[in-house]
Amino acid sequence: MKILTASLLSLTALASQAHASSPDAWAAYDKTVLASCTKASGLKNVKPVGTPAQFDDRVGYTAVLLQGQYPQKHMKGQQGSELCLYNKQTKTAFVTEWDSIRPSTKSH
């Protein structure tokens, strides 16, 4: 009976893992990440650039590059970029400005 129970638990775990990596599950996860990152962003009209970067589970983060407009009056609607790191375990988004990712338009 113990062997049967252990086998059923193993199969249940495998089935859960298979379900978690289904296209629908990934789409729902990406939607959650984007909503959390958008909420954490300080930019107006914020949109993702490209697709999320899925780091290995040992790292525990998904990265999303965001682009939008700075809301401050003195920025006059200037475009800005932010990098969002979404912690898979705590389901928390952390955002930092990352304008250096874009090519500079200023001449030196």
**106 is a domain residue:** no
Residue 45's domain comprises 2-101
Number of domains present in the structure of the chain: 1
Most confident of 7-11, 23-27, 93-97: 93-97
* Position 52 in a domain: yes
pLDDT confidence of residue 104: 62
Phi–psi pair at 80, nearest 5 degrees: -140, 160
Calpha distance 36→13 (Å, rounded): 28
Beta bridge partners of 47: 67
Asked if residue 42 is part of any domain, the answer here is yes
pLDDT of residue 102: 73
Band (20; pLDDT cuts 50, 70, 90): low
Q: For 59-96, what is each residue's pLDDT tens digit?
A: 999 999 999 999 999 999 999 999 999 999 999 999 99
Specify if 94 maps to a domain. Answer: yes
* Separation of alpha carbons 31 and 52, rounded Å: 10
Region 32-59: mean pLDDT is 96
Residue 107, in any domain of the structure: no
